[in-house]
Amino acid sequence: MSAITSTGLGSGLDIKSLVASLVSAEQTPATTILDTQQTKITTQISAYGSLNSAMATLQGSLSALKNLSTFQKPTAVSSDTSIITATAFSNADQGSYNLEVKQLAKNQTLASLPLLSPTSTVGTGTLTINFGTSTFDVNGKPTGFTQDSTQSGLTLNVDATNNTLVGLSQAINQAKAGITAVVFTDNTGSRLVLNSTSTGAKSSMQINVTDTGDSNDTDTSGLSALAFNVAAANMTQSQTAQDAKLAINGLDIVNSTNTVNTVIKGLSLNLLQAQPGKIVTLGISQNNADIATAVSGFVKSFNDLITTVNPLTSYDTKTKTGGVLLGDATVQKTLFKLRNTLGSIVSGLSGSATSMTEIGISTQKDGTLTFNSSRLNSQLSSNPSGVAGVFAPQGIASNANVVYITNTADTKAGQYAVNITQAAVQSALSAPMPAFPFTVNSSNSFTINIDGSQSGTVALTQKTYATGADLATEMQTRINADSAIKASGASVSVTYDGSNMVLTSKSYGASSKIAVTTDSTLLGLIGSTTSTAGKDVAGTIGGLAATGSGLQLTSTKGDPVGLMLIISDTVSGDKGTVNFSRGLMEQLDNVLTGAIGSTGTFNSRSTSLQTNLTKIATDRTALAARMSLLQKSLLTRFNAMDALLGKMQATSSFLTKQFSSTTSTN
């Protein structure tokens, strides 16, 4: 019997290597499966990251195209920008004009007689500055004045706190009443210089003074030294208020400022230099370049997305491998929605531009887009509103007195009839007046509440008013000049109807209210006088009752819900229709938000993949723990076997010796 040999302890086997091999045989297949899963999921997460980035870029390119104002930006080009420049707004008509700037508008400048220093006292009393149109003699002295009721003016009490040149300057500037004051000092002394902040012939200043120092309101002593009116022209006029004068296609135009924005619809002219006889050509055209740039950017972003998507979702027949997201339902569903939206016809539009294809954007076989800029420009020239409607939400009213404002996400595309059952009304108060001429004295002050804003004491200029129109102008000027009324944005117009002063709020609707809070009996302003109530517009949109607020009418139910309109006239009845369309960019934006938004499908899918990735890490930990237990178990069993073999080895050695001894004896 041969002896059992050992290369080590016990059995002599390399138990450590044997156990390691057995554990590896168990662990390697499981690890390979986990590695494969991890690689696939990591690649998918990376792919979703690339798609998310490409879709975010595409969504960013939609921002301009889903905004209606992008398609309402005509451009104005001047042949001489040193003389005139212009800005064209969305409602400007295309065309060409020949302009001649004959005279620029100017403000008025008045300077007082010089005093010794800026701190020299002027006098005390009341300084009243009104704006209007003045006439002058050849020496620049006022010969007439017509007050402008649309400009507020200033009434300033002058006392010991502000009766120096510097004090008056500060008080006038702090009043912010359309006048700036500055003190000029030279070798002749110091003078108070007043400038009207507004230009135009109607911004000429008339300065009346109540001089409490010497009770003489016309001499050059005391506060009356600042008088500038027909009776006393004690200040010097260094610049006369004048209107701008220009000719448009040979038609003479007069404007109070050098910004002319009411003559040509949708066009604001900026007059820079008077050049009589010099003709400047101004052309207004649709700004197609910016639109084409925005469309081109959208097409590029979409094609970049498709370039990213295709290798991730396609099958390569040559390499016989599929993209990492091949067959991914989340991606496929999003791409289907995008392509379906791009190929759809915009509901609510009619004519030659109702889809992407009709305005020059077509889909190729590989899913990318082609852009025909010539086709787009052609449509922009012939049907600009149709092109805008393909991209952005818009409402087109058949009645010029109905203006589309906005919509909500719930507003459905369609044509909606508009009918007004109650036109918006302004609040008005009628005050009976005695006969004219009428003298205003110190007791004829009052306070008034306009649209919820309470005035301070309104004091009229104390004098005799020849006509009701003269007093109406003064009342309107003083009410609107009140600091609280002005700050609130409220105002009134005042007219004389032959027997009554009629005060009308500028605002419409139920919030339009006028109430006398302190009576002036002589003026007919009594707190108990009831003003006519303002009323909100009322009517229907699409045959359904809508909610009115002032001139604003908003649908609250049905398909047109959220559609907001302004009814700009005050006549009830049928107002035609509003065609509302949503455009495709908003729909694309919704699809993309549904994919890459914080609660979108891509985010959910990425979260799910991350969860799976976390599970793989957990499975690796569990596998490692299981293999550790297996290794421990195998080592225990093999070590027991090793000990048994060690005993058998000892027995073998004993028997071998015994057999050898017996053989020798024989």
The yes-or-no verdict on residue 607 having pLDDT over 80 is yes
476 closest CA partner among 127, 176, 133, 148: 148
Name the most confidently modeled range: 11-20, 35-44, 546-555, 637-646: 546-555
Tell me: the pLDDT tens digits for 581-603? 999 999 999 999 999 998 989 88
Cα–Cα dist 475/504, whole Å: 12
Q: What is the pLDDT of residue 16?
A: 83
Cα–Cα dist 520/515, whole Å: 13
Contact criterion met (CB below 8 Å) for 393 and 586:
yes
Q: What is the pLDDT of residue 271?
A: 96
Q: What is the pLDDT of residue 89?
A: 85
Contact criterion met (CB below 8 Å) for 291 and 70:
yes
Tell me: the pLDDT tens digits for 361-380? 999 998 999 999 999 999 98
Q: Residue 434 has which token pair?
A: 């005695």
pTM of the model: 0.69
The yes-or-no verdict on residue 428 having pLDDT over 50 is yes
pLDDT > 70: what percent of the chain?
97
Higher pLDDT, residue 434 or 350: 434
Q: What is the pLDDT of residue 73?
A: 83
Q: What is the pLDDT of residue 663?
A: 66
Cα–Cα dist 174/169, whole Å: 9
Asked which of 117-126, 155-164, 264-273, 601-610 is least confident by mean pLDDT, the reply is: 601-610
Higher pLDDT, residue 464 or 107: 107
What is the DSSP track for 208-266? EEEETTTS-SSSSSGGGGG-BSSS-B-SEEEE--B-EEEEETTEEEEESSSEE-SSSTT
Q: Residue 301 has which token pair?
A: 């972003």
Tell me: the pLDDT tens digits for 161-186? 999 999 999 999 999 899 999 999 99
The yes-or-no verdict on residue 282 having pLDDT over 90 is yes
Q: How confident is the model at residue 643 (pLDDT cuts 50, 70, 90)?
A: confident
Contact criterion met (CB below 8 Å) for 210 and 126:
yes
Q: How confident is the model at residue 5 (pLDDT cuts 50, 70, 90)?
A: very low
Query: Average pLDDT of 401-425?
Result: 94
Asked which of 141-150, 292-301, 393-402, 433-442 is least confident by mean pLDDT, the reply is: 433-442
Cα–Cα dist 20/26, whole Å: 10
Tell me the pLDDT of the chain averaged across its residues. 89
Start-to-end Cα distance in the chain: 18
Asked which of 328-337, 379-388, 514-523, 656-665 is least confident by mean pLDDT, the reply is: 656-665
Query: Average pLDDT of 245-274?
Result: 94
Cα–Cα dist 262/246, whole Å: 13
Higher pLDDT, residue 300 or 520: 300
The yes-or-no verdict on residue 2 having pLDDT over 50 is no
Q: How confident is the model at residue 1 (pLDDT cuts 50, 70, 90)?
A: very low
Q: What is the pLDDT of residue 27?
A: 84
Q: How confident is the model at residue 152 (pLDDT cuts 50, 70, 90)?
A: confident
Q: What is the pLDDT of residue 280?
A: 96
Where on the phi/psi map is residue 589: left (φ > 0), alpha (ψ -120 to 50), or beta? alpha
**Total number of residues shown for the chain:** 666
Asked which of 41-55, 280-294, 339-353, 358-372 is least confident by mean pLDDT, the reply is: 339-353
Q: What is the pLDDT of residue 12?
A: 63
Question: Could you tell me whether strands 74-78 and 259-260 are parallel, antiparallel, or unpaired per DSSP bridges?
Answer: unpaired
Cα–Cα dist 587/348, whole Å: 14
Helix (H, G, I), strand (E, B) or coil at 360: coil
Name the most confidently modeled range: 64-78, 241-255, 442-456: 241-255
Burial class for 367, CB neighbours closer than 10 Å (0-12, 13-18, 19+): middle
The yes-or-no verdict on residue 634 having pLDDT over 90 is no
Burial class for 16, CB neighbours closer than 10 Å (0-12, 13-18, 19+): exposed
Q: What is the pLDDT of residue 10?
A: 55
Higher pLDDT, residue 643 or 335: 335
Query: Average pLDDT of 18-43?
Result: 86
Contact criterion met (CB below 8 Å) for 395 and 577:
no
pLDDT > 90: what percent of the chain?
58
The yes-or-no verdict on residue 6 having pLDDT over 70 is no
The yes-or-no verdict on residue 4 having pLDDT over 60 is no
Element (H, E) at 603: helix 601-665
Where on the phi/psi map is residue 489: left (φ > 0), alpha (ψ -120 to 50), or beta? left
